[in-house]
């Protein structure tokens, strides 16, 4: 076997060493303890200027160790900046920040009603230029003070990361059906001509939970903002939007109360509803049919036949859908996205109708609502399941 000359091996080693020396190093990298991690941002617009909020958490706010004290109160740091643009307001905040603000862990953006009425595209395009910010951050609107929303803690005084605003947890309530909206989905809805973009309204309430005898505020979604082009123009409460829950297949569960003639109420928990929209007349004034199929489990009943519960559930779901549709008409909103269906199937008809009036739906547009409810289980107790 032919052996290389020692000088040849020495030259090769020098070349490798020279190449290694020219590689970029990590000397400018920041230590993790030398960064301020922004987990949520708030954007407001007051007196012609943007007001930007940055919620910053340290490891003691989030980490749960064996020696950690559950429920120990840990403050939430909140930075506030002002400027004629979002970038300027954020720079104003950085002026007094003692550590660089790192955006790679940003999970939620909350916009005030004032900022949304001014326009959301500018906000999205500006924030999306930060390469650390992900496309799938949750987006909310609010009517409340942003300082109150961004300093909200969870039960047991846990960090804000354990609140509804970050987790989007669905509770066993008929008022927790508006799921979080990701930023990329929100801007896609804003850019589509036939879609009425809907952004959940995050709020809080101190009416339910107490620590000892002191009321404690907890996060909740109390409604939704509707956007036209890229500006908020209407708002509806969760009670007015209850019919929308039957259109979201991603909804894990939602309870439905069924009143009885004797004053009692049966309770059924339905899961993953399936709604199908159909255009039955496209020319002239369009007409739509809605079909809903849903399965559920009995949570509470008083010797009510299953077939009767299914009939009452179908009637209750139809009433919720029609009631939400009527209330949305008064605000020129389309929560069931009927306009989008016409835009997809018959774009020429859609363009013709919207050339006269952006909102063309009326009472007669929704022709029929068909609901097929099936109760598949009565829980641990035996029931008459056909």
**Whether the Cβ atoms of residue 136 and residue 183 lie closer than 8 Å to each other:** yes
* 256 lies in the same domain as 205: no
**Whether the Cβ atoms of residue 183 and residue 130 lie closer than 8 Å to each other:** no
* 52 lies in the same domain as 171: yes
State which residues form the domain around 337.
Answer: 242-385
Confidence of residue 309 (pLDDT cuts 50, 70, 90): very high
The helix/strand/coil state of 375 is strand
The helix/strand/coil state of 251 is coil
In this prediction, residue 98 carries a pLDDT of 81
* 301 lies in the same domain as 233: no
Alpha carbon 76 to its chain's center: 22
Give the domain-ending residue among 211, 240, 269.
Answer: 240
Confidence of residue 24 (pLDDT cuts 50, 70, 90): low
Q: Strand 254-259's sheet: what is its strand order? A: 254-259, 265-281, 287-300, 366-377
How many domains does the structure of the chain reveal? 2
* 105 lies in the same domain as 56: yes
Give the domain-ending residue among 240, 268, 287.
Answer: 240
The DSSP call for residue 33 is G
Q: How many angstroms separate the first and last alpha carbons of the chain? A: 85
Relative to beta strand 108-112, strand 138-142 is parallel
Instruction: Name the pTM for this structure.
Output: 0.85
Residue 7, in any domain of the structure? no
* 50 lies in the same domain as 199: yes
Residue 21, in any domain of the structure? no
Q: Give mean pLDDT, residues 84-100.
A: 88
Query: How far is residue 211's CA from residue 385's CA, in Å, rounded to a whole number?
Result: 43
Give the domain-ending residue among 215, 240, 265.
Answer: 240
* 200 lies in the same domain as 251: no
* 40 lies in the same domain as 89: yes
Query: How far is residue 296's CA from residue 273's CA, in Å, rounded to a whole number?
Result: 9
Q: Give the CATH number, domain containing residue 300.
A: 3.30.300.210
Residue 2, in any domain of the structure? no
**pLDDT digit string (tens) for 316-364?**
999 999 999 999 999 999 999 999 999 999 999 999 999 888 899 999 9
C-alpha atoms less than 13 angstroms from C-alpha of 305 in its C-beta half-sphere: 4
* 157 lies in the same domain as 43: yes
């Amino acid at each position: 076997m032919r052996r290389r000359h020692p000088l040849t091996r020495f030259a090769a080693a020098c070349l490798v060493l020279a190449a290694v020396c020219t590689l970029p190093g990590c000397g400018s990298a920041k230590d993790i303890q030398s960064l301020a991690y922004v987990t949520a941002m708030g954007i407001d617009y007051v007196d012609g200027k943007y007001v930007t909020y940055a919620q910053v958490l340290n490891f003691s706010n989030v980490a749960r160790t064996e020696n950690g004290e559950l429920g120990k109160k840990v403050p939430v740091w909140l930075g506030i900046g002002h400027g004629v643009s979002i970038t300027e307001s954020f720079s104003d905040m950085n002026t007094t920040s003692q550590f660089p603000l790192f955006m790679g862990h940003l999970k939620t953006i909350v916009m005030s009603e004032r900022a949304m009425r001014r326009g959301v595209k500018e906000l999205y395009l500006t924030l999306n230029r930060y390469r650390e910010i992900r496309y799938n951050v949750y987006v909310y609107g609010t009517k409340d003070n942003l300082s109150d929303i961004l300093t909200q803690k969870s039960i047991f005084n846990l960090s804000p990361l354990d609140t509804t605003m970050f987790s989007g947890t669905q509770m066993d309530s008929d008022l927790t059906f508006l799921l979080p909206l990701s930023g990329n989905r929100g801007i896609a809805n804003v850019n589509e001509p036939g879609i009425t973009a809907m952004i959940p309204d995050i709020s809080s309430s101190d009416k339910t939970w107490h620590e000892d005898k002191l009321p404690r505020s907890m996060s909740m979604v109390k409604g939704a903002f509707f956007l036209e082009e890229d500006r908020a123009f209407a708002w509806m409460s969760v009670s007015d939007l209850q019919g929308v829950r039957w259109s979201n297949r991603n909804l894990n569960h939602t309870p439905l109360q069924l009143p009885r003639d004797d004053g009692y109420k049966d309770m059924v928990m339905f899961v993953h509803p399936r709604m199908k929209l159909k255009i039955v007349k496209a020319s002239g004034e369009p007409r739509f049919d809605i079909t809903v199929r849903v399965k559920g489990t009995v949570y509470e009943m008083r010797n009510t036949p299953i077939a009767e519960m299914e009939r009452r559930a179908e009637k209750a779901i139809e009433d919720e859908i029609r009631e939400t549709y009527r209330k949305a008409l008064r605000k020129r909103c389309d929560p069931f996205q009927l306009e989008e269906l016409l835009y997809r199937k018959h774009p020429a008809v859609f363009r013709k109708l919207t050339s006269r009036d952006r909102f063309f739906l009326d009472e007669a547009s929704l022709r029929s609502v068909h609901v097929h409810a099936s109760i598949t289980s009565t829980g641990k107790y035996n029931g008459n399941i056909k």
